[in-house]
């Protein structure tokens, strides 16, 4: 089955720890995205990547880092510098990064991160 997988589904972190959220897709999509979702605030873009070995900051990148070493993988690290990391994190992908403005985004199932 083609799709986007995120792991783990639930993640607990102690304050001061870095954690890495996994996002993998087997859709052969070029572009990948990370969003954060908080109650009443909608989806906010953290980072995006149009192509392997390239990524750009979104609206709320502070305290997060990413890498894109493989087309199918776009892990997100939540660092200790992120002051309020408890949220629902969503990964998404788009078939072609910028070559077709009709492309839309397809989402993974999400990871709920809780800081204890």
Q: In the complex, which residues of this chain contact other proteins (CB under 8 A)?
A: 4, 6, 31, 40-43, 45, 48, 50, 58, 88, 90, 94, 97-99, 101-110, 112
Q: Given the complex with other proteins, which of 82 and 94 has the nearer CB atom?
A: 94
- The candidate with the shortest Cα–Cα distance to 52, out of 93, 20, 18, 89, is 93
Nearer to other proteins, 11 or 79 (CB): 11
Alpha helices (runs of H) in the chain, residue ranges in sequence order: none
Q: Which residues of 69-100 are buried (b: 16+ CB within 10 A; e: fewer)?
A: eebbebbbebeeebeebebebbbbbbbebeee
Nearest distance in Å: CB 86, other proteins? 14
Within 13 A of 90's CA, how many CA atoms are on the CB side?
Answer: 15
Nearest distance from residue 80's CB to other proteins, in Å?
26
Query: Is 2 or 40 the residue whose CB approaches other proteins more closely?
Result: 40
Q: Which is nearer to other proteins, 15 or 41 (CB)?
A: 41
CB of 16 to other proteins, least distance (A): 27
Specify the DSSP class assigned to residue 85. -
- The distance of closest approach from Cβ of residue 79 to other proteins in the complex, given in angstroms and rounded to an integer, is 23
């Amino acid at each position: 089955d083609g799709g986007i997988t995120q792991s783990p589904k639930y993640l607990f972190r102690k304050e001061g720890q870095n954690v890495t959220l996994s996002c993998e897709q087997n859709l052969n999509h070029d572009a990948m995205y990370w969003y954060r979702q908080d109650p009443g605030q909608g989806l906010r873009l953290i980072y995006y990547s149009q192509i392997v070995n390239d990524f750009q900051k979104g609206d709320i990148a502070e305290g997060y880092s990413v890498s894109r070493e493989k087309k199918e993988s776009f892990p997100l690290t939540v660092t200790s510098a992120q002051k309020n990391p408890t949220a629902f994190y969503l990964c998404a992908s788009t078939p072609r990064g910028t070559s077709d403005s009709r492309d839309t985004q397809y989402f993974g199932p999400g990871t709920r991160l809780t800081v204890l």
